[in-house]
Amino acid sequence: MSFDLQKLLRPHILGIKPYSSARDEYSGKDGIFLDANENPYSALTGEAFNRYPDPYQQDIKATLAPIKGVRPGQIFLGNGSDEAIDLLMRAFCRPGIDNILILPPTYGMYEVSAAVNDIAIIRVPLLADFQLQPEKILAAADANSKILFICSPNNPSGNKVNRSDIEFLLKNFPGLVVVDEAYIDFSDEPSFTTDLDSYPNLLVMQTFSKAWGLANLRIGMAFASEDIIRILNLIKPPYNISGLTQQKVLDSLAKADELPRLIQMILENRALLVQELNQLDSVQHIYPSHANFVLVKIKEAKAWYEALIQQQIIVRDRSKVLLCDDCLRITVGTAEENQALLDCMKTIEQSQKISLNL
Ligand SMILES: *Cc1c(COP(=O)(O)O)cnc(C)c1O
């Protein structure tokens, strides 16, 4: 399948002249800066936040590129992955005309972003084991299908998606294929970031929100061909990542060699959590997880959800979601948090506080 980026884009995008910021027109670091209407004094707190940040986050990209095995020009950074999702829809999908494909049950933001942008959604459900139906996906696509969103490891099911299915779709889907790897650091599956040069229609999303522990900063990554990244840079708000966020991300990247230990701790907590949850009579199934959460099939999921809330333990009730009947999604916490959850569940089960029908 030949991939023609120009043809896939909304036609007017190619004619857009980018906003030229003061930092675009002069990017040197030294001098007397009287070009951006900034305040020459520090903020009231004394902190030096008075200057606009680097609009292209070049220091982060230079550090990140070798870690991810890509070139700096293949990286886009957004205000969360959610910004990349929204920008992709605005770049490729004509409101009221084009559509995206999603594979439920999956991450909710694809749908929300499509709705906001008035883009139709074609849904091709996953199988009962949460794997893809590649032929059905191709059959469902039409001439106006612009983006296919594949989430692997998938949220809320936690499984990794068969690599051969993703490769088949990269070769055959007529539009852009987004592989959302928000949870890839918790998986033994290699990332698709190193396959960018083989697939011009591939965009890989990752995030600093999960394994890196920086959800509060709001910063997500997108990796794709330089041509696609140029489009995202063209239409993004100029200063989409604050300078404070950039600094904090750089501080974390400087300690990247400690990340595997942090991840390992969560994986160990996950293994223990799964083992202990399996001891509970109400737990019917725990789906294999390649993420920092587990999907748990449990009798009376909604009653469990509410009973746990009563004890100020908050999990996610997914029981109304396609293929997730009777399921709770439980994020792996600290060893202490997980123990508190398990103690609470044991107590509830023993005291039959809720009707479990055991
Ligand atoms: C958490 C999550 C993200 C991350 O979103 P951010 O906006 O970067 O915090 C992206 N995709 C999926 C599937 C997620 O679960």
Give the count of domains, the chain: 2
Residue 100 lies in a domain: yes
Residues 45 and 14 both lie in one domain: yes
**Cα–ligand 1 centroid distance for 239 (angstroms):** 21
What number is the average pLDDT over the span 200-209?
Answer: 98
How much is the pLDDT for 356? 55
Residue 357 has pLDDT above 60, yes or no: no
The residue from 254, 272, 305 where one domain ends is 254
Residues 126 and 38 both lie in one domain: yes
According to DSSP, the β-strands at 293-298 and 327-331 are antiparallel
Best of 76, 77, 81, 223 for a ligand 1 pocket test (most atoms within 8 Å of beta carbon): 81
Residue 231 has pLDDT above 90, yes or no: yes
Residue 89 has pLDDT above 70, yes or no: yes
What number is the average pLDDT over the span 159-169?
Answer: 98
**Number of H helices and number of E strands within the chain?**
12, 11
Query: Whole-model pTM?
Result: 0.96
Residue nearest to atom 7 of ligand 1 (CA): 80
Residues 269 and 156 both lie in one domain: no
Over the chain, what is the mean pLDDT? 96
Quick one: which atom of ligand 1 is closest to the CA of 220? 8
Residue nearest to atom 13 of ligand 1 (CA): 107
Residue 358 has pLDDT above 70, yes or no: no
What number is the average pLDDT over the span 305-316?
Answer: 97
3-state secondary structure 64-127: HHHHHCCCHHHEEEECCHHHHHHHHHHHHCCCCCCEEEECCCCCCHHHHHHHHCCCEEEECCCC
- Top-confidence residue, 49 or 351: 49
Could you give the percent of the chain with pLDDT greater than 90? 92
Residues 64 and 202 both lie in one domain: yes
Quick one: which atom of ligand 1 is closest to the CA of 210? 1
Taking the C-alpha atoms of residue 327 and residue 277, their distance in angstroms, rounded to an integer, is 13
Residue 84 lies in a domain: yes
Residues 247 and 281 both lie in one domain: no
Residue 357 lies in a domain: no
The residue from 254, 277, 310 where one domain ends is 254
The residue from 204, 234, 254 where one domain ends is 254
- Phi and psi of 215, rounded to 5°? -55, -35
What number is the average pLDDT over the span 130-157?
Answer: 98
Residues 117 and 182 both lie in one domain: yes
Residues 238 and 133 both lie in one domain: yes
Sign of CA dihedral 125, 129, 132, 137: negative
Residues 274 and 240 both lie in one domain: no
CATH label of the domain that carries residue 200 = 3.40.640.10
Quick one: which atom of ligand 1 is closest to the CA of 218? 9
User: What are 149-162's pLDDT values in tens digits?
Assistant: 999 999 999 999 99
Residues 172 and 264 both lie in one domain: no
Residue 1 has pLDDT above 70, yes or no: no
With bands split at pLDDT 50, 70 and 90, how would you rate the model's confidence at 104?
A: very high
Could you give the percent of the chain with pLDDT greater than 70? 98
Residue 230 lies in a domain: yes
Residue 228 has pLDDT above 70, yes or no: yes
CATH label of the domain that carries residue 269 = 3.90.1150.10
Residues 272 and 189 both lie in one domain: no
CB 201 within 8 A of CB 192: no
Residue 356 lies in a domain: no
How much is the pLDDT for 112? 98
Residue 358 lies in a domain: no
Residues 266 and 249 both lie in one domain: no
Residues 114 and 200 both lie in one domain: yes
Q: The domain containing residue 37 runs over which residues?
A: 5-254
- Around ligand 1, the residues with Cβ closer than 6 Å are 80-82, 107, 151, 155, 180, 182, 207, 209-210, 215, 220
Residue 354 has pLDDT above 70, yes or no: no
Residue 26 has pLDDT above 60, yes or no: yes
How much is the pLDDT for 353? 56
Residue 321 lies in a domain: yes
Quick one: which atom of ligand 1 is closest to the CA of 151? 13
